[in-house]
Amino acid sequence: MRRAGILGLVLVLALATYPTVGAVMEHYWAKTFGWQGTDYLVDSKILENGDIILVGSTRPSKIDYYDIWVMRLDKNGSVKWANKYVGYEDSRTYSVATDGRDIIVAGGVGTSGLRGVDGSILRLDEQGNIKWQRTYGGRGDDWILRITLAPNGDIIAVGKTSSFDAKKWDAWVMRLDGNGNVKWQKTFGSEYDDQFNDVTVADNGDIIIVGDYRATGADGGGASVWVVRLDGNGNVRWQKTYGGNRTDSATAVSTTPDGEILVAGITLNFGAGGYDFWVLRLDKNGKIKWQKTYGDIHDDSAYSIVPVENGDILVGGTYGSIGDRSDADIWILRLDRDGNVKWQKALGGSMREEARLIAGNMGIVAVGYTKSFGAGGYDGLALRLPPTGELRDCSFCREANFTSTVSKAKVKTPEVTIKDVKAVVDRTYAYSKSVTPESKLLWSETMNVTSSPEKNQREDKICGPGAFVGVAMLALLMKKR
């Protein structure tokens, strides 16, 4: 009887922790959103219930300024609400973060007087109502290009600034509390143009930032991928540059469950020619585990990188831009953990499309903009795709011709000046305006898919149906005893 009890307990634990896999019906789609003007979507987040938060900028025809644009969709692509946030002289949106309820939107807004552009943050509730809004900056121009949340709810913001005695542009990082109060802020700079482009927080609370370090060539004309690891108080643990003699840029960063660092960007030093996707996998100390390029002879640019279930990696950006020609397509690659391509898709029409971010939670969500489809001009574009990348009867899908090469970057320690700075923090008085963008359905399909937990955005472990089966079996064993 004791042996049966032990076996029962083992079975309980196995069932409670084993991911439930089954066939479910899921709806996938591609849609445009916009008006007769210029409308961009640049970032997104997926909530636990499958809702999708989209942010971008919108400008009506014959108007010189942009407004902040935020939408909430259900997982089938229907708009729950859409707002513009108006009252600024001009505004550009670059990033969004969420704690599961509130929505934090960041970018830059025009200011009056001697100051130029200031970094801006709005905190919204679930319905898009403004909870608070602030700007941060000095006498120059200051841009927040990316934000993320620390486990305690603090906001980590990165970007670039020409304030605070910067010689040109300096990279800029701030840590704010949940109410927008500055805890600390620093600039990192050389005598050339430097900037931070993306940020993530490691499981131990360290802050990992990527960007462009331009004091690379003899004349400072090139740039290198720049990775900086800080502790939670902003102290440098290490920083390194990766590249060659020409231009490389880091546009996105993420971490894997085992703490390794994934970096995506572009390279002119390695690859097939022109700019190519460049992906580096680093250990937690910045040592390269592997590095690979993906592209053809034209310009291909990666803008996002996301680890998904079973160690696979999603990379998204643009494919096939030839100089100033407007024929770039969205390009999504799914790699295995060693950087080998499992599948890839190019999506687009006769003119320009661009994907600014992808997320692999509850399927793949790509957001960006299109000039081929929509209401006119540039329109926002959002796609929810199956994890397999299979889009049947899709008129705008194709396979891209590309090569993948192993690159050999030089690794260096950059020479930068690090300063504690003090930005002026101002309250702003923008207000929300409900809007109804025109939406066009480009493709949709409902299909049976195999469900398993996809962990792109960090979540606490929860018990699935296996846990309930395990509890029932445990109760039965105890009753027999």
Where on the phi/psi map is residue 101: left (φ > 0), alpha (ψ -120 to 50), or beta?
alpha
264 with 281, same domain: the answer is yes
Q: Report CA-CA distances (Å) from 65 to 39, 144, 157, 167.
A: 12, 18, 24, 28
Q: Report CA-CA distances (Å) from 216 to 96, 212, 246, 265, 365.
A: 31, 10, 8, 17, 35
* HEC letters along the chain: CHHHHHHHHHHHHHHHHCCCCEEEEEEEEEEEEECCEEEEEEEEEECCCCCEEEEEEEEECCCCCCEEEEEEECCCCCEEEEEEEECCCCEEEEEEEECCCCEEEEEEEECCCCCCEEEEEEEECCCCCEEEEEEEECCCCEEEEEEEECCCCCEEEEEEECCCCCCCCEEEEEEECCCCCEEEEEEEECCCCCEEEEEEECCCCCEEEEEEECCCCCCCCCEEEEEEEECCCCCEEEEEEEECCCEEEEEEEEECCCCCEEEEEEECCCCCCCCEEEEEEECCCCCEEEEEEEECCCEEEEEEEEECHHHCEEEEEEEEECCCCCCCEEEEEEECCCCCEEEEEEECCCCCEEEEEEECCCCEEEEEEECCCCCCEEEEEEEEECCCCCCCCCCCEECCCCEEEECCCEEECCCCEEEECCCEEEECCCEEEECCCEEEEEEEEEEEEEECCCCCCCCCCCCCHHHHHHHHHHHHHHHHC
How many CA atoms lie less than 13 Å away from 154 in the CB half-sphere?
A: 22
243 with 329, same domain: the answer is yes
Record the pTM.
Answer: 0.87
Q: In what order do the strands lie in the sheet with 91-98?
A: 91-98, 103-110, 117-124, 130-137, 424-427
121 with 201, same domain: the answer is yes
How many Cβ atoms sit within 10 Å of the Cβ of residue 363? 20
469 with 358, same domain: the answer is no
Instruction: Please choose, from the candidates 304, 292, 305, 301, the residue with its C-alpha nearest in 3D space to the C-alpha of residue 329.
Output: 301
CATH number for position 169: 2.130.10.10
- What local confidence, expressed as pLDDT, does residue 324 receive? 46
120 with 144, same domain: the answer is yes
How many domains does the chain contain in total?
2
Residue 13: domain span: 1-20+464-481
406 with 481, same domain: the answer is no
Provide the terminal-to-terminal Cα distance of the chain, rounded to the nearest Å.
8
- What local confidence, expressed as pLDDT, does residue 221 receive? 59
> What 3-state DSSP class applies to 393?
coil
User: Which residue is it, tokens 């690891």?
Assistant: 229
CA-to-CA distance for 187 and 470, rounded, in angstroms?
Answer: 53
Name the helix (H) or strand (E) containing 143.
Answer: strand 142-149
Q: What residues of the chain score a pLDDT lower than 70?
A: 1-23, 112-114, 216-221, 321-326, 360-362, 450-481
481 with 350, same domain: the answer is no
Structural contact between residues 123 and 138, judged by C-beta atoms closer than 8 angstroms? no
33 with 179, same domain: the answer is yes
- What local confidence, expressed as pLDDT, does residue 116 receive? 83
CA-to-CA distance for 386 and 360, rounded, in angstroms?
Answer: 9
Structural contact between residues 57 and 110, judged by C-beta atoms closer than 8 angstroms? no
- Cα angle 404, 409, 412 (rounded to 5 degrees) comes to 160
251 with 319, same domain: the answer is yes
- What local confidence, expressed as pLDDT, does residue 229 receive? 98
473 with 375, same domain: the answer is no
163 with 15, same domain: the answer is no
Q: Which residues share a beta bridge with 444?
A: 29
83 with 8, same domain: the answer is no
